[in-house]
Amino acid sequence: MNAPADGKAVQRLESFKRLLTHLRELLSLDFGFVLWDGGAVPADLPSNALSIAFADEGVVAAMLRRPNADTLLNLWVTARIDIRNGVIFDFLARRPKPRTREIRRRLNKRLVATTALKFLFVPRGGPWPLEAIRDREPSSDGSKETNKENVHYHYDLSNAFYALFLDPEMVYSCAYFRDWNNELATAQHDKLEMICRKLRLKPGDRLLDIGCGWGALVCHAARHFGVHAVGVTLAEEQFAYAREKVSRLGLADKVTIELRDYSLIEGDFDKIASIGMFEHVGVANYPGYFKTINRMLKPGGLYLHHSIALRSAAYERLRRKKPATTTAIARYIFPGGELDHLGMSIANLERYGFEVHDVEAWREHYAHTTRLWHDRLFSNRAAAEREVGAMKTRLWIAYLASASIGFTRNSVGVFQTLASKRVRGPSGLPPSREHLYR
């Protein structure tokens, strides 16, 4: 807590308090604010009340000068802006009721202007750890070196860190909830089962899992469906974990884990799965990706394409101008990551020699999955900070929250698309899909 040092600092503080009071009344907010002098708005705010805390007056100065996602994230990861007695979802549940036009009409613009002027020349303070990352332009050029660098940045944080919020099998993609009340472990097990059923796995099949993560799918498929599986990843920590798991489960004769780029894979496979990996490929590299899948898949073989996707209109807008949240995720979370839309995925599958059979939307499943991940990481944040540091922990908490919000609001979706390598004549699939939901 930093007490005001002079008369001007006191004036700034009091002006900011008046502005916050005005905004609370205007927006009918039922949460409060805690200020750097230890005071609060409202003044009688209970200590256990949901609130936003400002660590110093430089926070206000920084937001006034550069009111964007980069500034807010820097302030968040350094805890200069913090949430007391709650999480971001609590604020969404209490979001302002008035319409934007009404807010503009009733806003005390003079109070806003005079407060802003008082903070105009106040130093922004620090630290600003994300600025070094922001200056590095993320790439998705498709080269093996860039692919490995991008994957390393996100996935090689720490296996122990991911274990703090994933299920026991370490599945880092959308779960499948047969009941919304199911636990995460149950939902991820049911997801693995659903993938195997969609691919109609049977003993003796050769399965390739591109972007195999910590080995959950290949091990599940080998143990329960009798396949011979190859899992491929570029993340060294995932590779080490998956190989140890294969050995521990006694699956070395059925499962192989390889540390290599998907474009270098050789061999023929009966079934191929790509579960949550496609987002790393990059739009410019789609032709090479689908050609590679087609080359490795036997005639009539099945391919399951599981990927996050934008709505087509949102995709077109993004190609013209990327929203701040999209840019922030690409910079700080998923360097090189890009999304397509469902129509593009289907068109590419057909263009590069596949027949599309089924498309299933899992948007609400991912909204629930990412919310559970967020809650688990938030509950284990002290352990996470010991593992990867406070900055990374707070960054991932914000990322998982924003992902859940995006899926909940239908800003983004996720689809499982089943396709086969195109042949003349029958596909060999059953006439109904009853076997998937038994």
Query: What does pTM read for this prediction?
Result: 0.94
Cα–Cα distance, 175 to 369 (Å, whole number) = 6
Token pair listed for 116: 């802003």
Cα–Cα distance, 154 to 172 (Å, whole number) = 12
Q: Which residue has the tokens 């708005």?
A: 41
Cα–Cα distance, 94 to 81 (Å, whole number) = 19
Please count the other Cβ atoms lying within 10 Å of the Cβ belonging to residue 82.
15
Cα–Cα distance, 405 to 95 (Å, whole number) = 13
Instruction: List, as one string, the DSSP characters of 279-291.
Output: GGT-GGGHHHHHH
Angle between helices 342-351 and 312-320 (to 10 degrees): 90
Whether 327 contacts 382, CB under 8 Å: no
Domains in the chain (CATH in brackets) are 7-131 (no CATH), 144-437 (3.40.50.150)
Tens-binned pLDDT, residue by residue, of the chain (438 aa)? 454 458 899 999 999 999 999 999 999 899 999 999 999 999 999 999 999 999 999 999 999 999 998 999 999 999 999 999 999 999 988 877 667 788 888 899 999 999 999 999 999 999 999 988 865 555 666 677 888 888 888 888 899 999 999 999 999 999 999 999 999 999 999 999 999 999 999 999 999 999 999 999 999 999 999 999 999 999 999 999 999 999 999 999 999 999 999 989 989 999 999 999 999 999 999 999 999 999 999 999 999 999 999 999 999 988 888 777 778 888 888 888 899 999 999 999 999 999 999 999 999 999 999 999 999 999 999 999 999 999 999 999 999 999 999 999 999 999 999 999 999 999 999 999 988 887
Cα–Cα distance, 25 to 47 (Å, whole number) = 20
Please count the other Cβ atoms lying within 10 Å of the Cβ belonging to residue 95.
8
